[in-house]
């Protein structure tokens, strides 16, 4: 962008005119926003020229890293050839058709169709509407209750915020979407008590069966969850959890929906988190890593059980977005998939860079402030505690997580705070040297926070 202003000018204009997502305004006005002007590889650069290692891939999305010319060039070419046309009313264009074909090819075998959206939240809302539509078409409209999880995150639209289990978001919804209930999350460190991780995973999964029985199995339409809860604090379920959930969904015949908005496109070392856990969701919501965040795009991967009904005898599905399958976004997604495939980026996460990150990240467990260091693929989390042995947390008013985050930013590292859980999800192309830098900076910032 060519307009150039001083940092103070940008901050004053930002504070005066720009309403930000998920931002505390007292804090923003007091400190001024951080103005990021450019990025390259795994580094951001702010208006002062400070170089910041991005431990969060933006918002879990820049999987192939910043500054990939191939993506910019493909977008430019597509804008000149066909910048926009819709996929409504029996029209389509090659980028959307080709992207649907390629996604079906790389998704698990039972996925046969794709519905495109503009974001993760739109994907979630689309999946909710598909669930309702599916049971209507099956002549069981009374099956309309969807079970989500406490502390799950499924976006910010009214549907996504209702389905998510974030207490603070629910408080601001005057009318949450009805027919949504929540069970507990499989967060062993925080809630496992004396149970082993495996026992705890089973116990939490069996809450799904208990909830279905309580509601009446004939009323339950679907279970909807992230394979690994991202925004909730990188909550990696014990290995016993997902197989049990799959069994329960099969036993009651309810739909299983995996929200792959974060897990999809390589973060676990597989194309999808569902593959990592060996589950077979009927619907998979995607966004973020689909285009590595270069342009907005999302979608729902639809398994044959739902797709055969919706996509053939289902009649018109009164749903869609102006930008569903946008040609520029689809062209960028296709090129992004090519990079992921040809540069073997996901394979590298699985076989080499992921294990290295986990080995280095795990050393943070030795820090006096850290109660647990966990991770998987290119995810990581550390739990900040006042007492390691008893896992006692800090007083909430101390805002230890936020203080740690500030120290990180000031020392050239983006690490996110979810309460007192510090999380990372770096670009999948991070090198060993950059991983070393990330862990060294994280240690230093923990020292500053202590």
**Per the structure block, which two tokens stand in for 307?**
């797709």
Stretch of 10-18, 152-160, 207-215, 249-257 lying at the interface with ligand PLP (CB under 6 A)? 152-160
CB of 342 to ligand PLP, least distance (A): 26
Alpha carbons 290 and 139: distance in angstroms, whole number: 34
Q: Segment contacting ligand PLP (CB under 6 A): 136-144, 148-156, 209-217, 406-414?
A: 148-156
Q: Does 111 bind ligand PLP (CB under 6 A)?
A: no
- Direct distance between the N- and C-terminal alpha carbons of the chain, in angstroms, rounded to an integer: 40
Position closest to ligand PLP via CB: 120
Euclidean distance between CA atoms 128 and 133, whole angstroms: 9
262 touches ligand PLP (CB under 6 A): yes
Q: Round to whole Å and give the CA distance between 29 and 427.
A: 30
- Alpha carbons 369 and 39: distance in angstroms, whole number: 31
Between 259 and 434, whose beta carbon lies closer to ligand PLP? Answer: 259
To ligand PLP, the closest distance from the beta carbon of 226 in angstroms equals 5
Query: Quick one: 248 or 261, whose CB is closer to ligand PLP?
Result: 261
* Minimum CB distance to ligand PLP smaller for 183 or for 370: 183
Starting at the edge strand found earlier in the chain, the sheet holding 36-40 runs 36-40, 43-46, 51-54, 413-414
Name which of residues 42 to 81 contact ligand PLP (CB under 6 A).
Answer: 59
The region of 88-96, 114-122, 347-355, 432-440 touching ligand PLP under the rule CB under 6 A is 114-122
Residues 240-259 contacting ligand PLP, CB under 6 A: 259
Distance CA 402, CA 175 (A): 31
Longest Cα separation, the chain: 62
Q: How many residues make contact with ligand PLP (CB under 6 A)?
A: 15
Binding status of residue 148 toward ligand PLP by CB under 6 A: no
- Taking CB under 6 A as the rule, does residue 95 contact ligand PLP? no
Q: Which of residues 272-291 bind ligand PLP (CB under 6 A)?
A: 287
Report the b/e string of 398-415 with b at 16+ CB within 10 A. eebbebbbbbbbeebbbb
Start-end of H helices in 39-93: 57-60, 69-81
> How would you list the strands of the sheet with 283-286, edge to edge?
111-117, 298-303, 283-286, 255-259, 220-225, 145-149, 180-183
221 binds ligand PLP (CB under 6 A): no
What minimum distance in Å lies between the beta carbon of 449 and ligand PLP?
Answer: 25
* Collapsed DSSP state (helix, strand, coil) of residue 152: coil
Q: How far is the CB of 284 from ligand PLP (least distance, A)?
A: 11
Contact status: 124 vs ligand PLP (CB under 6 A): yes
Separation between Cα atoms, residue 196 and residue 193, nearest integer Å:
8
The reply to whether 420 sits near ligand PLP by the rule CB under 6 A is no
Among 115, 208, 211, 226, binds ligand PLP (CB under 6 A): 226
Site residues, ligand PLP (CB under 6 A): 59, 119-121, 124, 153-155, 226, 230-231, 259, 261-262, 287
């Amino acid at each position: 962008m060519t307009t150039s202003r001083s940092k103070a000018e940008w901050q004053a204009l930002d504070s005066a005119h720009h309403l930000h997502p998920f931002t505390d305004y007292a804090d923003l006005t007091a400190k001024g926003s951080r103005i990021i002007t450019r990025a390259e590889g795994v580094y951001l650069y702010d208006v002062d020229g400070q170089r910041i290692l991005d431990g969060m891939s933006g918002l879990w999305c820049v999987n192939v890293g910043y500054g990939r010319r191939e993506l910019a060039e493909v977008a430019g070419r597509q804008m000149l050839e066909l910048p926009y046309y819709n996929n409504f009313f029996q029209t389509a264009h090659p980028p959307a058709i080709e992207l649907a074909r390629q996604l079906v090819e790389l998704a698990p075998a039972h996925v046969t169709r794709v519905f495109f959206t503009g974001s993760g939240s739109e994907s979630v809302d689309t999946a909710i509407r598909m669930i309702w539509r599916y049971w209507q078409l099956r002549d069981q409209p009374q099956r309309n209750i969807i079970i989500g999880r406490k502390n799950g995150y499924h976006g910010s639209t009214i549907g996504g915020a209702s389905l998510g289990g974030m207490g603070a978001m629910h408080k601001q919804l005057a009318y949450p979407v009805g027919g949504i209930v929540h069970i507990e999350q499989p967060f062993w460190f925080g809630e496992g008590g004396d149970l082993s991780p495996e026992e705890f995973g089973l116990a939490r999964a069996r809450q799904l069966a208990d909830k279905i029985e309580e509601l009446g199995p004939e009323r339950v339409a679907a279970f909807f969850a992230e394979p690994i809860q991202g925004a909730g604090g990188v909550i990696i379920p014990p290995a016993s959890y997902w197989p049990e959930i799959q069994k329960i969904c099969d036993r009651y015949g309810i739909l299983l929906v995996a929200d792959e908005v974060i897990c999809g496109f390589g973060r676990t070392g597989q194309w999808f988190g569902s593959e990592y856990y060996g589950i077979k969701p009927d619907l998979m919501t995607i966004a973020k890593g689909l285009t590595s965040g270069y342009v907005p795009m999302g979608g729902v991967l639809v398994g044959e059980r739902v797709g055969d009904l919706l996509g053939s005898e289902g009649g018109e599905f009164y749903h869609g977005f102006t930008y569903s399958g946008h040609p520029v976004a689809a062209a960028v997604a296709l090129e992004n998939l090519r990079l992921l495939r040809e540069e073997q980026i996901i394979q590298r996460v699985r076989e080499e860079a992921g294990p290295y990150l986990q080995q280095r990240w795990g050393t943070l467990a030795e820090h006096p402030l850290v109660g647990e260091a966990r991770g998987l693929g290119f995810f990581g989390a550390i739990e900040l505690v006042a007492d390691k042995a008893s896992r006692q947390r800090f007083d909430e008013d101390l805002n230890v997580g936020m203080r740690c985050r500030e120290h990180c930013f000031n020392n050239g590292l983006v690490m996110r705070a979810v309460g007192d859980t510090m999380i990372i999800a770096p670009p999948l192309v991070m090198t060993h040297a950059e991983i070393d830098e990330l862990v060294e900076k994280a240690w230093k910032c923990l020292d500053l926070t202590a």
